[in-house]
Structure 1
Amino acid sequence: MPDTIRSGWFVAQLRPHGLAQARVHLKRQGFETFSPVLLHQSQALSSKRNEERPLFPGYLFVNFDPNQSGWSSINSTRGVSRLVLNDPRRPRPLPDELIRALQNRCDPEKAYDDLAVGDRVRLVTGPFAELVTKIESLPSAERVGVLIDLMGREVRSSLPRAHVVKVTE
């Protein structure tokens, strides 16, 4: 019995600075797109501001059904360089769980809803990467307060939420 190919998310490689253009033209053609972003706090002189930065610069996720005609037009869409496919005759979508996780993690409205005071988290970057600790506070939508054990002494620290991952046991 042949594998049934279903609608799903695929990766499109973009032309340089082609994200906005690709989004507009793909939407016009009826394709749903997703470009995961993370909020990055930049500090210019005396002010702080949040900037959105692409999680995968140069790439865009596009949702389509490979059983329907017309999806190959994505390759000739303005801003798009090409679809990244293992087999153009039988495209395989990315796992739904991966896209759902990215959407939940990168949507400012949904991001980090799974974190609460007392949760165990692993630091994923910086000098204490891989250290497991507990959340002490959630001071803002972008920050997590943790206690770090340094030579037998607990030190409070505030980190960007993107720098921690919840530990599930």
Structure 2
Amino acid sequence: MKSWYLLYCKPRNERRAQQNLAMQQIESYLPVIQEERISQGKTKLVEALLFPCYLFIYFDPTQVSVSRIHSTRGASRIIGCREDMTPIDDRIIQQIKHRVMKHKPEVDKGIQAGDKVQFTEGPFVDLEAIFEETNAEKRCFVLFNIMGQQKRLCVDKESIKKV
């Protein structure tokens, strides 16, 4: 009977193992999330493995040879593969898939220079400003009217939203 099993892969070879297993008609699941990384002062979304070096595979050990999987390029060994293999409950895989889908961050808030923004936290909560530009380290500059003068403030991107 087909079940999910956990495959340990060689370091940074999870995708290679997944491709080679697909060529053998073995279903697999590689949980990937989007992470914000700062490179050269710009924030970029990059794919990051939820479980580095691990791949979930769905197969029937009575139909597919375990040694065939172990000899797949990029793969190392099936976890818990001794005399009796221990399958992973389908509900666990479904929960992981559900959480990965929920984790998708906003790619961009769509705020452009000149847009009106509102503070969502901090001492200026609910007050409005004008977005000027993005700065490194998850910060940005806004133009804020205070006491009849326009001041340039450096604030956390998470503390503003587009109006």
TM-score tier (shorter)? 0.5 to 0.7
**Per the alignment, in what secondary structure is the counterpart of residue 68 of structure 2?**
helix
In structure 1, what is the equivalent of residue 97 of structure 2? 103
* In structure 2, distance between residues paired with 1:112 and 1:25: 28
Offset at residue 68 of structure 1 (A): 1.9
* In structure 2, distance between residues paired with 1:100 and 1:142: 28
TM-score by length of 1: 0.58
Max radius of gyration: which structure? Answer: 2
**Per the alignment, in what secondary structure is the counterpart of residue 11 of structure 2?**
coil
Please tell me whether the aligned partners of residues 45 and 107 of structure 2 are also in contact (alpha carbons under 8 angstroms): no
Distance 1:66 1:37, change over 3 A: same
**Per the alignment, in what secondary structure is the counterpart of residue 89 of structure 1?**
coil
Offset at residue 90 of structure 1 (A): 2.3
In structure 1, what is the equivalent of residue 84 of structure 2? 90
Offset at residue 66 of structure 1 (A): 2.1
In structure 1, what is the equivalent of residue 34 of structure 2? 39
Distance 1:101 1:141, change over 3 A: farther
Distance 1:60 1:112, change over 3 A: closer
In structure 2, what is the equivalent of residue 30 of structure 1? 25
Please tell me whether the aligned partners of residues 14 and 59 of structure 1 are also in contact (alpha carbons under 8 angstroms): yes
**Per the alignment, in what secondary structure is the counterpart of residue 12 of structure 1?**
strand
Please tell me whether the aligned partners of residues 42 and 48 of structure 1 are also in contact (alpha carbons under 8 angstroms): yes
Please tell me the residue identity of whatever aligns with 2:78.
Answer: L
Q: Deviations over 1:79-124 (max 9, x none)?
A: 0111112x533212111111001112224xxx259xxxxxxxxxxx
**Per the alignment, in what secondary structure is the counterpart of residue 12 of structure 2?**
coil
**Per the alignment, in what secondary structure is the counterpart of residue 98 of structure 1?**
helix
Q: Deviations over 1:62-86 (max 9, x none)?
A: 111123243431111100111112x
Please tell me whether the aligned partners of residues 21 and 72 of structure 2 are also in contact (alpha carbons under 8 angstroms): yes
In structure 2, what is the equivalent of residue 135 of structure 1? none
* RMSD, matched Cα: 3.1
Please tell me the residue identity of whatever aligns with 2:38.
Answer: Q
In structure 2, what is the equivalent of residue 16 of structure 1? 11
Please tell me whether the aligned partners of residues 64 and 71 of structure 1 are also in contact (alpha carbons under 8 angstroms): no
Identity rate of aligned residues, in percent?
28
Unaligned runs of 5+ in 2: 110-119, 127-155
TM-score by length of 2: 0.60
* In structure 1, distance between residues paired with 2:44 and 2:107: 14
Please tell me whether the aligned partners of residues 65 and 71 of structure 1 are also in contact (alpha carbons under 8 angstroms): no
Offset at residue 19 of structure 1 (A): 1.4
